[in-house]
Amino acid sequence: MGKQIGIVGAGSWGIALAYLLSNNGHDVVVWSRSEDTVKKLEAYHGNEEKLPGVILDEKVSFTSDIEVAVKDKDIIVIVVPSAHMRETAKKIAPYISESEEHKQIIVNCTKGIEEGSLMLMTDVILDEIPGSQVCVLSGPTHAEEVGRGMPTTIVVGAFEKEIARYIQNVFMSNVFRVYISPDMLGIEIGAALKNVIALAAGMADGYGCGDNAKAALITRGIAEIGRLGMAMGGKFETFSGLSGIGDLIVTCASMHSRNRRAGILIGQGKSMQEAMDEVKMVVEGVYSAKSALALAEKYEVEMPIVKAVNEILFDGKAPADAINDLMMRDKKTENISLEW
């Protein structure tokens, strides 16, 4: 039986998920805060600028009224930039049902860390909507491919197994395979930090470092993500899974990745702002970089790649100098848990 689903956010990922969920037989409404954007969405029946070529089923509707998007919906999918998560959760809060008979489920699809508070996105949602039923959906999932029905895998994390199973059944299809996990924290840490490592990978590409350097950044990047994630309470298995190494690979290697594209431009000598302007989409890694470094300091975890990205983005350090500093760090053992 089809579910009533509100998608809060009309960017490329929101439209791709609307495509998937409507094809799965659910009733979908997509919300944008801009009335002008809604008119464009209705005219094209998709987002021509962010996800050209993906035309949604005629049953999908669009609105700029948050009440229409979330009230009485079975599932609310939040797909807004991390910097807008708190204000969006505030808008949603008055319309969330507290009835045990109709417990709405909020699916967080936003990857990031709130600057200042250092809260993960599901924690921001729970802070603004206490007692709500929240889960997280993440993995190696470029909207450009999901919106064209290309085979994709993803993981849903939830506090309760029944909720994870429920969301798994709603989203799963023959082209969208969904796994479940209890490690929400690990999933969100992997999702947020891979954007920072992808910026570094893009910078290396833009500077012309080659494939060896790319492989090193991916491998040592997941080591950094795992160290911080486990210090915060995440599980090792999560970082070796879809929302860890899986999402990191796709974000570091693909030209669909806005973080990698921005990194390439910075590696070629453009400023952070010039790179963001040229990509024309939210580059989440820029927003997560400071927070990632703050978390590393808070949990006393060494994260040299994340530190280097921050120095390039915010301190004016040249990519060439950052690369040299990374290469010439003190000699290390690759894995201290292995004994001679």
Q: Which residues are catalytic?
A: 194
The answer to whether the beta carbons of residues 312 and 322 sit under 8 Å apart is yes
CA 230 – CA 79 distance, rounded (Å): 26
CA 201 – CA 265 distance, rounded (Å): 11
In the beta sheet, which residues pair with residue 40? none
What is the dihedral sign for C-alpha 74, 77, 181, 183? Answer: negative
3-state secondary structure of 301: coil
Give CA 115 to chain center in angstroms: 15
Task: Find the radius of gyration of the CA atoms of the chain.
Answer: 20
Q: How many CB atoms within 10 Å of residue 118? A: 15
Burial class (CB in 10 A: 0-12, 13-18, 19+), 336: exposed
CA 8 – CA 193 distance, rounded (Å): 23
Contacts of 135 (CB under 8 A, 6+ apart): 105, 106, 107, 108, 122, 156, 157, 158, 159, 163, 164, 167, 184
CA 244 – CA 319 distance, rounded (Å): 25
Burial class (CB in 10 A: 0-12, 13-18, 19+), 249: middle
- Residue among 121, 123, 63, 69 at smallest CA distance from 95: 69
CA 324 – CA 129 distance, rounded (Å): 46
Which secondary-structure segment (H or E) carries 60? none
CA 280 – CA 265 distance, rounded (Å): 13
